Amino acid sequence: MRAFIQAVQEYTGARKVDVIGHSMGVTLARKAIQGGPGYDPYGGDHFDLGAPLTGRVDTFVGIAGSTGPIPGQDGQKVFSSYPHGHMGSRDLSVETQLAMITEHEVR
């Protein structure tokens, strides 16, 4: 994301760019713009994203994004609701998704 923001700026010659994100893209874009430390919960590695890109971004629009940090970025344990969470339920049938909502069960 950081490289993309920088590439768009270089390609267009614009002093600042606008960034629009949706869902997880909001969280990733926000962290990329803020820069600073990060943590890989799967590899256990700490890394630095570098200096903030706030001076390169004019407008940031986030639609349906998380209001918190990326899970695991502070080293805490991460739990997943897969396969029935946000990313897994889309592959289930309409009947199964409806049962999950109305009857709280997976058929």
What's the predicted TM-score (pTM) here? 0.57
Each residue's pLDDT tens digit, 58-102: 999 988 777 666 666 666 665 555 555 555 666 677 777 777 777
* Beta strands 17-22 and 57-63, pairing class: parallel
105 or 48, higher pLDDT: 48
For the chain, the domains span 2-76, 77-107
* Predicted local confidence at residue 73, as pLDDT: 62
Whether the CB-CB separation of 78 and 72 falls below 8 Å is answered with yes
Each residue's pLDDT tens digit, 6-57: 899 999 999 999 999 988 888 889 888 999 888 777 777 888 889 999 999 9
3-class secondary-structure state, position 11: helix
